[in-house]
Amino acid sequence: MKIAGMLLISLAFIGSLTATLNYFYYIKSGSESYLKRANRLHQLIFAILLIVGILLYYSILVHDFSLNYVANYSSKNDPWYYQFAAFWAGQEGTFYLWTLYTTIFGLILIRRNDKFLPYVMIMLHISIFSILLILLKQSPFRPIDPAILANLTDGRGLNPLLKNYWMIIHPPTLFLG
């Protein structure tokens, strides 16, 4: 899980950088092949990020405490809805959610086929690869220290201040705004 998650985040980062360059080259040359390639890369980045999210949710649901993120934000004793909210309880999960929403917004923009699309997509991808750069450094797939893992039987769970129903809907709806 750790290696797959990090590899996928790295691929999304490289894809975003490549898409940005292709949008830029399209603006400079007017060649449709650059625009098509950039749009396909954006769709691929979305698919990769979707898989990253599935891997992270799976890790939370099976209580894979070998991941620092899972050990810090989920617990076997938490009800299912707090385990669901554990996905965005930490900074890494929030950054991931933000990146996913930004990518979805890009998918909507691609369908519009506006003359300003390449300019907007360059700005969008600067945001995407900036956040992915943070996720490469502060990955939700970062392994926990083996010495800690040896004695770990359960995760910390959500911060007690976050254990309310607003935590379940607040971050996703906030980012939709």
CA distance 125 to 18: 9
Residue 157, Ramachandran bin (φ over 0: left; ψ between -120 and 50: alpha; else beta): left
Q: Work out whether the CA dihedral 127, 13, 48, 29 comes out positive or negative.
A: positive
Q: Alpha carbon of 110 to those of 25, 120, 121, 177: distances in Å?
A: 17, 10, 9, 20
Q: CB–CB of 163/82 below 8 Å?
A: yes
Instruction: Please give the span between the terminal C-alpha atoms of the chain, in angstroms, as a whole number.
Output: 31
Which residue ranges in the chain fall short of pLDDT 70?
A: none
Other C-beta atoms closer than 10 Å to the C-beta of 96 total 25
Contact 129, 48 (CB under 8 A): no
Report how many domains make up the chain: 1
Q: What is the distance between the alpha carbons of residues 53 and 51, in angstroms, rounded to a whole number?
A: 5
Boundaries of domain holding 131: 2-176
Query: pTM value?
Result: 0.89
